[in-house]
Structure formats: C-alpha cells, structure tokens
Amino acid sequence: MITEQNFIRYIKKTFADRQMIVVAQKEPYIHTTTEGSIKEIKVEKAIGGGVNTLIDSILRKTGGTMFAVSSGDADHLMVDKEGKISVPPWNPSYTLKRIFLSDAEQKGFYYGVSNQTIWPLFHAVFIKPKFHASWWKQYVAVNRKFADAILEEVKNKKAFVWIHDYQFSLLAKMLKKQRPDLQIGVFWHIPWPTYEIFRINPWRKEMLEGLLASDFIGFHRGYHVENFLKCVRSDLEVIVDYEPRSAVYKNHTTRLASLPAGVDFDRISDKLKTSKKMNPTVVKKKLGIPWKNEKLVISAERVDYTKGILERLKIIDRFLDKYKQFRKNIIFVSIGVPSRTRISEYKSYNSQINHLADRINSKHGTKNWKPVYLVKHGVSREDLFSYYRLADACLVTALDDGMNLVAKEYLICIDSKKGVLLLSKFTGAAKDLKESMLINPFDTEGSSNALYEALTMKPEMKKARNDQMKTILQENNVYKWAIDFLKLALNE
C-alpha cells in the first residue's frame, strides 16, 4: 500500500528540479463578503464535485501552484498583485493563482460550452446539448487566458502541468505551441462518449487536437479510453497503438491509460476518530430533521440531472408502496446543494425534485412522520462523514458518472456490520466496488427490491462485503492514483 509518506518522498525526489502546476476550473477556497467582513469557506467542507477534494489533498502534500477560476466576491481583496494567495488559509502549503473572468467569459466558457455543450454531450442522460458559436469563442478565450497565465508563471523554467477535466480541452495545445518542452498530463474526470454521440460536436476536431498535444491522458475507466481512441481514429489521421495505448498525431505521441481515482482512506479514518458523535438531538439541530433512530438512508451529491435524483425518488416511492412495514420506521435524507442554477435545465430539475418529494411525503407521510428530507445547504465533510456512519444505507443513483467518490467515502465511514452501499451500475466506482448492491436506477422495481434486501441483510453478510471493499479502497488510495498518473505522465 502506498502511504502519504511514500507519496511525499516520491514528490520531493521527482519535483526537486521542476515546478508543479495544476489547473482546474473550480478553486478549492473562496472568499466571500458577509456584512462587510470577509469569510473564508472551504470547498472541502461542502457537497460538490470530487475533483476539488482530490486536487486539494494532493497539493497539500506536493506544494506547487494551482490555477483556477475565481468564484468569490471578495477573492480580489485577498490576493497579491499577481492574483495569488497561499492556501489552505490556516496552514499554507501551496499557492492558488486566481483567474478572474468577465461576465461574458463566464457565460460562454462555464455556463455555455462547459455545462450546456460538453456536460450533456458526454453523459448518457438524454439531455440535448446546445451549440453556440459565441459560447465557443469565450471557451477558446478562457483557455487562452489560462495558457498565458501559466506561461508567465513558468517562464523558462522546467515544469509539469497537470490539467484537470473538460473545461480545458484546448489548453495543452496552447501551452505546447509556446513551450514544446513542457511536460503535460491531462486527467479527464467525466465519461468519454462513443463516436456516434461525439460526432455531432461542431468543435470535435479542435478538442481532440487540443488533448492530443498533451503527453499523457488519464481516464477513470478503460471503456472511456477506447471511446476516445475511436473518436481520434474517426476524425484525425492518427496512428493508434492499443498495447500500450497511445496515439501519434503530427509526430507527437500521447500515451493513454485508465486510472480509477481513489480517496484518502487514512485521512478520512482519522477524521472519524476525532469527529463528534451524532445523535437525534444533534441531527435535528444541524439538519432540521426530527430523526428518532428510525432506519436512515442517505444520499449526497450536487443537484444535477446526471445524479439520478428523480429516479431515486421513484425508487423510494415504490419501496414504500411495496414494503409498508417500513412506514414510520425509515427516513431518506438527500443532501444536495443546488448547482448551475442559471441554466434552465437545472432550475427545472430542481423544481421537479421538490415536486416529487412533496408528492411522496403527501402520499406516504403522516401527521408526525414524513419519509423524504431534502437538505439543500452545505454540510462540512466532518459532519457528512458522521451522517454516513449513522446511515443504514447509502443510495447512489447516478445515471452516468466518471467515478463517484461519495460511494467510496461512505464505505470508509461506516461500521462494516451496519451500512450497505446501493450503487448505480453506471458509475465508474461500480467497477471497483463489486460487492456493493449494484442497481440500475432506471429499473424502479428492481432497485426497490434491492433496497429492501439491503435493509434486511444480516450483519455478518454486510461485514464480509464491506470489509472486502474497504481493503480495495485502502490499497487503491488517492496517493497510489496520483503516483500512477505522474509516473505515466512523466514517462518514468
């Protein structure tokens, strides 16, 4: 097993003579104004994408500079003249370089191409992607803005640039054009679709050429790699090798591999040891839920149509129809902060969730009990881990997901004899967590039966399955993932 200390030793040796540059869209720490004062908020303590948690945990050990889009209204007050700030605020260990975008850039880059073009196109959830040339213009401009900032930072020094995700598909090519000697690795955290889907993208060639300028591209799952290679073979004149997997385009070789991301097993375990014990009184105070030690089924994610929240509510409704003995003896808590609310599909989705939850509560609830609770405010990771530990089951119903770190974190938190993970077959995590209760969220009947089976499973069966998965998670932790990625990206 690769430990934190193994990782630190590797980083000190490998990066003794070069800079570490990390690029991601979302900053891990933001500054916002509250009644004239400045309040620091850690993204790590909020329910959001797992990418930030991964990056922050890595950079705390590696040091280096992270480039990310500014999102706090007081961010500009806290940075130096170069737009930098040392983070985390309480124990600085790396530099955050904030990139400030105009409203037009945010609209086209983030709310446009990133989340109304690429996001629905790359997830098999049947939301029609939108294509607007004005959005694409801003997407290109923001990638250029990041490239210019990175080139200014590294100057003529030796550096490795680690690019994360779909917001920066053009960045590697822009960097290589000015600094062909830069070593660049990309990790693509979301699924890569089949060519039959990808081919409708008007800017597919630009995206593929941008990514193929990197030295290495990592995906969570092998079939994402295969889909990517089929796309480049279909649209570009490339030489593809499948063992080991690589693509040669315009005399440049890009290596590819599947590297399922892990979590920081030991850090989560340590946090649980020091976290406050939860009881019904504390839960009511923190979440506003009158929990009375009924069975508890928990879910946690951003409110996003890829997460299958409506499908989950339908499963709950059917479960309560069929297994009436659980009425008044169970509650379902969904912790999910609304996201991307400027996009109409997200507004509509949030409204549909509220409507269906209300209908289920009216149908099945009583004067003193209701089955479904929607928690729409941020929850600290420490508290979230404690809720996981209380839960009898975790219901993950994503319809298409590159990985899903919630599933992995839940397993680390639970008493092996108590909790059960019900996990969508359509998550990347399902390939790693084969001893979970794998479900098809579109199969309401089958999933409701699986939920009953999970809640009535014998403790010794739970323990056998959970312990097996915990061993896998401990061995394949975030440090192993990071070292595997860096070794392949640096061609060691």
Which tens digits make up the pLDDT trace of 169-224?
999 999 999 999 999 999 999 999 999 999 999 999 999 999 999 999 999 999 99
State the alpha helices, DSSP H only, in 15-98. 50-62, 75-78
Which residue has tokens 């890569």?
192
Q: How far is CA 364 from CA 187, 294, 312, 317, 445, in A?
A: 45, 16, 16, 8, 18
Q: How far is CA 472 from CA 158, 346, 356, 434, in A?
A: 36, 35, 37, 10
Closest CA to 412 of 261, 260, 269: 269
Which segments of 70-127 are extended strands (E)? 84-87, 94-99
pTM for the structure as a whole: 0.95
CA distance 360 to 187: 40
CA distance 438 to 430: 7
Answer for the pair 437, 453: CB distance below 8 angstroms, yes or no.
yes
Query: Is the bond leading into 244 cis (omega within 30 degrees of zero)?
Result: yes
Query: What torsion do the CA atoms of 477, 479, 485, 491 make, to the nearest 10 degrees?
Result: -130
103 Cβ neighbours under 8 A, 6+ residues apart: none
Q: What is the pLDDT of residue 42?
A: 42
Q: What is the set of domains in the chain, with CATH numbers?
A: 4-261+478-489 (3.40.50.2000), 265-475 (3.40.50.2000)
Answer for the pair 45, 380: CB distance below 8 angstroms, yes or no.
yes
Task: Report CA torsion sign: 440, 445, 451, 453.
Answer: negative
Q: What is the pLDDT of residue 54?
A: 80
Closest CA to 161 of 214, 210, 95, 110: 214
Q: In degrees rounded to 5, what are phi and psi of residue 70?
A: -70, 140
Tokens of residue 405, six digits:
């770190």
Q: What is the pLDDT of residue 366?
A: 96
Answer for the pair 452, 469: CB distance below 8 angstroms, yes or no.
no
Tokens of residue 13, six digits:
């040796």
CA distance 394 to 407: 8
CA distance 225 to 488: 15
Tokens of residue 240, six digits:
């593809």
**Ordered per-residue pLDDT tens for the chain, 492 residues:** 899 999 999 999 999 999 999 999 999 999 988 766 666 554 333 335 568 878 888 898 889 999 999 998 889 999 999 999 999 988 999 999 999 999 999 999 999 999 999 999 999 999 999 999 999 999 999 999 999 999 999 999 999 999 999 999 999 999 999 999 999 999 999 999 999 999 999 999 999 999 999 999 999 999 999 999 999 999 999 999 999 999 999 999 999 999 999 999 999 999 888 877 788 888 888 999 999 999 999 999 999 999 999 999 999 999 999 999 999 999 999 999 899 999 999 999 999 999 999 999 999 999 999 999 999 988 888 899 999 999 999 999 999 999 999 999 999 999 999 999 999 999 999 999 999 999 999 999 999 999 999 999 999 999 999 999 999 999 999 999 999 999 999 998
Closest CA to 269 of 386, 392, 53, 413: 413
Which residue has tokens 């399922």?
260
Tokens of residue 319, six digits:
């479960």
Closest CA to 290 of 368, 226, 190: 368
State the alpha helices, DSSP H only, in 159-221. 171-178, 195-198, 204-212
At 269, which helix (H) or strand (E)?
helix 265-274
Structure confidence by residue, pLDDT tens digits, 116-133 = 999 999 999 999 999 999
CA distance 104 to 457: 53
437 Cβ neighbours under 8 A, 6+ residues apart: 420, 421, 422, 423, 450, 453, 454
Task: Report CA torsion sign: 10, 218, 402, 464.
Answer: negative
Q: How far is CA 63 from CA 20, 82, 95, 275, in A?
A: 7, 18, 7, 27
Number of Cβ within a 10 Å radius of residue 5: 10
